[in-house]
Amino acid sequence: MAGIALSPFVTMIESEDGMVFLNTRTGRYWQLNGTGSETLRLLLGGETVESTASRLREKYPDASDHAESDVHELVRQLRAARLIAR
């Protein structure tokens, strides 16, 4: 799964703790922590879910057992919130 981009009606800013998103259609705000932000940056940069999970496993070996499922879950949640598009 590659080609992830922010939805056209979403703005994003980096914060001290991660990222903050505004859905300009609904006025709702969303926030990602540092690890979620790192994950999304990789995906927005063209990485696949699998390559992103691989990078996270290298950086966070204690979380390696569930890295890929966590990345899939983050993508699912961001899609459900309509923050990202393909």
Q: Among candidates 82, 35, 26, 40, which has minimal Cα distance to 62?
A: 35
What is this structure's pTM?
0.89
| Residues contacting 13, CB < 8 A, separation 6+ | 19, 20
**End-to-end CA, the chain:** 9
- Structural domain that includes position 60: 5-85
Which tokens is 42 given?
């990789």
Please give the tally of structural domains in the chain.
Answer: 1
Query: Tens-digit pLDDT profile for the chain (86 aa)?
Result: 457 999 999 999 999 999 999 999 999 999 999 999 999 999 999 999 999 999 999 999 988 889 999 999 999 999 999 999 87
